[in-house]
Structure 1
Amino acid sequence: MNPSASKKKLMAMDSTVRPGAAPPKSPTGDTKNAIQAMIMGLIVVVTVGYMFLWIMLPTNVYRLKWLPKIQAKANTTYFGTQGTNILIFTFPVLFVAALGCVYLHLRKKSTVNGGHYHHSNGENNGLAAWKRPMIIKGLGVISLIELAFLVMFVALIAWYFSLSLRIKFHNITPMSAAKTGEKVWQAKLDATGLRFGIAGNICLAFLFFPVARGSSVLQLFGLTSEASIKYHMWMGHITMAVLTAHGVCYVIYWSVTHQISQMLKWPKMGESNVAGEIALLAGLAMWATTFSGIRRKFFELFFYTHYLYIVFMLFFLLHAGLGHFSYGLASFYLFLVDRYLRFLQSRQNVRLVSARILPGQTLELNFSKAAGLTYTPTSIMFLNVPSISKLQWHPFTITSSCNLEPEKLSVIIKGEVSWTNKLHQLLSSPSSSVDHLAVSVEGPYGPSSTDFLRHDLLVMVSGGSGITPFISIIRELIYTSETQNYKTPSILLIPAFKNSSDLTVLNLILPIHISPSQISNLDLQIDAYVTREKQPPSSSSEEEASTKKNITTIWFKPKPTDSPISPVLGQNGWLWLGAIISASFMMYLVLIGIITRYYFYPKDIHHDGMNMMMMYSSSSKYVVNLLFLCVSIVFVATVVFLWNKKQNAMENKQIQHLEGATPEASPASLFYNADRELESGAPQQSLAFSTNVHYGERPDLKRILFERKESSVGVLVCGPKKMRHEVANICSSGLGANLHFESISFSW
Structure 2
Amino acid sequence: MDSERSGVVQMGIWWFSVFIFVGYVMVWIMMPTNTFFLHWLPHILAKADSIYFGKQGAFLLLYTFPILLIATLASLYLHLEQKRSNHNTKSKVWFSGLASWKRPLLVNGPLGIISMTELSFTIMFVLLLIWSLCSYLLVMFSSLALEVANQRVQVWEEKLERSALALGLVGNICLALLFFLVSRGSSILRLIGLTSEGSIKYHIWLGHIAMTLFTAHGLGYVIFWGKTHQITEIFKWNKVGVSNVAGEVALLAGVIMWAATLPSIRRKAFELFFYTHYLYIVFVVFFVLHVGFSSACIVLPGFYLFMIDRYLRFLQSQQKIQLLSARVLPCEAVELNFSKNTGLCYAPTSIIFVNVPSISKLQWHPFTITSCSNTDSDTLSIVIKSSGTWSHSLYQKLSSSSPISHLDVSIEGPYGPASTFYSKHEMLVLVSGGSGITPFISIIRSLLFNANSEEGKTPRILLICAFKKSIDLTMLDLILPASATVIDISSLQLQIEVYVTREKQPNMNDQKFIQTLWFKSNASDEPVSAVLGQNNWLYLGIIISSSFILFLLLIAILTRYYIYPIDHNSDLIYPYFSRSSLSMLFICISIVTVATTAFLWNKNQNKDSRQIKNVYTSNPSTSLGSGYQNIDQELGNLPLQSFAQTAKVHYGERPDIKKILSGCDASSIGVLVSGPRKMIHEVASICTSCSTDDLHFESISFSW
Q: Is contact 1:254–1:260 with CA below 8 Å preserved after alignment?
A: yes
The answer as to 2:5 corresponding to 1:31 is: yes
The answer as to 2:603 corresponding to 1:645 is: yes
Q: How does 1:123-134 map to 2 (within 5 A)?
A: 123-124=96-97, 126-134=98-106
1:747 Cα deviation from its structure 2 partner: 3.4
1:205 Cα deviation from its structure 2 partner: 0.6
The answer as to 2:504 corresponding to 1:547 is: no
Letter in 2 for 1:401: C
1:158 Cα deviation from its structure 2 partner: 1.4
Map of 2:38 onto structure 1: 64
Identify which of 687, 701, 715 aligns with 2:657: 701
Q: Is contact 1:237–1:287 with CA below 8 Å preserved after alignment?
A: yes
The answer as to 2:209 corresponding to 1:238 is: yes
1:684 Cα deviation from its structure 2 partner: 1.7
The answer as to 2:693 corresponding to 1:737 is: yes
Q: Is contact 1:515–1:682 with CA below 8 Å preserved after alignment?
A: no
- How many residues in Structure 1 have an aligned counterpart in Structure 2? 703
1:77 Cα deviation from its structure 2 partner: 2.6
Letter in 1 for 2:83: K
Identify which of 523, 528, 535 aligns with 2:505: 535
Q: Is contact 1:119–1:453 with CA below 8 Å preserved after alignment?
A: no
What is the CA–CA distance in structure 2 between the aligned matches of 1:677 and 1:741, rounded to whole Å?
38
Identify which of 125, 145, 166 aligns with 1:153: 125
Q: Is contact 2:476–2:644 with CA below 8 Å preserved after alignment?
A: no
Q: Is contact 1:268–1:618 with CA below 8 Å preserved after alignment?
A: yes
Letter in 1 for 2:697: F
Structure 1 unaligned segments of length 5 or more: list them: 1-26
- Structure 1 residues 668, 570: CA separation in 2 closer, same or farther (over 3 Å shift)? farther
Q: Secondary structure at the match of 2:56?
A: helix
Identify which of 110, 115, 132 aligns with 1:143: 115
Q: Secondary structure at the match of 1:443?
A: strand
Identify which of 522, 545, 549 aligns with 1:586: 549
What is the CA–CA distance in structure 2 between the aligned matches of 1:225 and 1:572, rounded to whole Å?
20
Map of 1:8 onto structure 2: none
Q: Is contact 2:74–2:188 with CA below 8 Å preserved after alignment?
A: yes
Letter in 1 for 2:467: F
- Structure 1 residues 130, 465: CA separation in 2 closer, same or farther (over 3 Å shift)? closer
1:673 Cα deviation from its structure 2 partner: 10
Letter in 1 for 2:512: T
Letter in 1 for 2:4: D
Letter in 2 for 1:140: G
Q: Is contact 1:194–1:246 with CA below 8 Å preserved after alignment?
A: yes
Identify which of 36, 60, 63 aligns with 1:86: 60
- Structure 1 residues 166, 341: CA separation in 2 closer, same or farther (over 3 Å shift)? same
- Structure 1 residues 358, 137: CA separation in 2 closer, same or farther (over 3 Å shift)? same
Provide the aligned C-alpha RMSD in A: 2.5
- Structure 1 residues 676, 588: CA separation in 2 closer, same or farther (over 3 Å shift)? farther
- Structure 1 residues 579, 418: CA separation in 2 closer, same or farther (over 3 Å shift)? same
Q: How does 1:717-736 map to 2 (within 5 A)?
A: 717-736=673-692
Map of 1:439 onto structure 2: 409
Kindly, what percent of the aligned residue pairs are identical?
53
The answer as to 2:677 corresponding to 1:712 is: no
What is the CA–CA distance in structure 2 between the aligned matches of 1:640 and 1:269, rounded to whole Å?
38
What is the CA–CA distance in structure 2 between the aligned matches of 1:200 and 1:109, rounded to whole Å?
40
What is the CA–CA distance in structure 1 between the aligned matches of 2:20 and 2:610, rounded to whole Å?
41
Identify which of 607, 631, 640 aligns with 1:684: 640
- Structure 1 residues 571, 700: CA separation in 2 closer, same or farther (over 3 Å shift)? same
- Structure 1 residues 701, 608: CA separation in 2 closer, same or farther (over 3 Å shift)? closer
- Structure 1 residues 368, 677: CA separation in 2 closer, same or farther (over 3 Å shift)? farther
1:139 Cα deviation from its structure 2 partner: 1.0
1:120 Cα deviation from its structure 2 partner: 6.0
Q: How does 1:453-464 map to 2 (within 5 A)?
A: 453-464=423-434
What is the CA–CA distance in structure 2 between the aligned matches of 1:244 and 1:435, rounded to whole Å?
53
What is the CA–CA distance in structure 1 between the aligned matches of 2:685 and 2:257, rounded to whole Å?
33
- Structure 1 residues 319, 119: CA separation in 2 closer, same or farther (over 3 Å shift)? closer
What is the CA–CA distance in structure 2 between the aligned matches of 1:264 and 1:254, rounded to whole Å?
11
Q: Is contact 2:546–2:594 with CA below 8 Å preserved after alignment?
A: yes
**Superimposed CA distance per residue, residues 99-125 of structure 1 (whole angstroms, 9 cap, x where no aligned partner):** 0001001111111x532013669942x
1:275 Cα deviation from its structure 2 partner: 0.6
- Structure 1 residues 371, 608: CA separation in 2 closer, same or farther (over 3 Å shift)? closer
Q: Secondary structure at the match of 1:461?
A: strand
What is the CA–CA distance in structure 1 between the aligned matches of 2:66 and 2:95, rounded to whole Å?
34
- Structure 1 residues 120, 246: CA separation in 2 closer, same or farther (over 3 Å shift)? closer
1:507 Cα deviation from its structure 2 partner: 0.3
- Structure 1 residues 268, 437: CA separation in 2 closer, same or farther (over 3 Å shift)? same
**Superimposed CA distance per residue, residues 427-453 of structure 1 (whole angstroms, 9 cap, x where no aligned partner):** 1122x4311000000000000101111
Q: How does 1:235-634 map to 2 (within 5 A)?
A: 235-430=206-401, 432-513=402-483, 518-538=488-508, 546-548=511-513, 551-602=514-565, 614=573, 616-634=574-592
- Structure 1 residues 287, 108: CA separation in 2 closer, same or farther (over 3 Å shift)? same
- Structure 1 residues 508, 127: CA separation in 2 closer, same or farther (over 3 Å shift)? closer
Map of 2:73 onto structure 1: 99
Letter in 1 for 2:690: G
What is the CA–CA distance in structure 2 between the aligned matches of 1:319 and 1:172, rounded to whole Å?
25
Worse overlay, 236-245 or 67-76: 67-76
Q: Is contact 2:323–2:336 with CA below 8 Å preserved after alignment?
A: yes
What is the CA–CA distance in structure 2 between the aligned matches of 1:674 and 1:401, rounded to whole Å?
24
Structure 2 unaligned segments of length 5 or more: list them: none
**Superimposed CA distance per residue, residues 368-391 of structure 1 (whole angstroms, 9 cap, x where no aligned partner):** 000011111000000001111110
Letter in 2 for 1:116: T
- Structure 1 residues 382, 120: CA separation in 2 closer, same or farther (over 3 Å shift)? closer
Q: Secondary structure at the match of 2:653?
A: coil
Q: Is contact 1:117–1:451 with CA below 8 Å preserved after alignment?
A: yes
1:395 Cα deviation from its structure 2 partner: 0.3
Identify which of 103, 113, 118 aligns with 2:91: 118
Q: Is contact 1:116–1:448 with CA below 8 Å preserved after alignment?
A: yes
What is the CA–CA distance in structure 2 between the aligned matches of 1:484 and 1:673, rounded to whole Å?
36
- Structure 1 residues 642, 675: CA separation in 2 closer, same or farther (over 3 Å shift)? farther
1:67 Cα deviation from its structure 2 partner: 1.3
Letter in 2 for 1:188: K
Worse overlay, 451-460 or 53-62: 53-62
Worse overlay, 446-455 or 509-518: 509-518
Letter in 2 for 1:153: F
Map of 2:29 onto structure 1: 55
Q: Is contact 2:530–2:536 with CA below 8 Å preserved after alignment?
A: yes
Letter in 2 for 1:59: T
1:642 Cα deviation from its structure 2 partner: 0.5
TM-score (norm 2): 0.95
Map of 1:21 onto structure 2: none
- Structure 1 residues 191, 269: CA separation in 2 closer, same or farther (over 3 Å shift)? same
1:274 Cα deviation from its structure 2 partner: 0.6
Q: Is contact 2:512–2:634 with CA below 8 Å preserved after alignment?
A: no
1:657 Cα deviation from its structure 2 partner: 11
What is the CA–CA distance in structure 1 between the aligned matches of 2:79 and 2:219, rounded to whole Å?
48
Letter in 1 for 2:460: S
Q: Is contact 1:512–1:674 with CA below 8 Å preserved after alignment?
A: no
Q: Is contact 1:513–1:675 with CA below 8 Å preserved after alignment?
A: no
Letter in 1 for 2:242: E
Letter in 2 for 1:167: V
Q: Is contact 2:516–2:630 with CA below 8 Å preserved after alignment?
A: no
1:38 Cα deviation from its structure 2 partner: 1.1
What is the CA–CA distance in structure 2 between the aligned matches of 1:666 and 1:196, rounded to whole Å?
66
Q: Is contact 2:432–2:464 with CA below 8 Å preserved after alignment?
A: yes
Q: Secondary structure at the match of 1:732?
A: helix
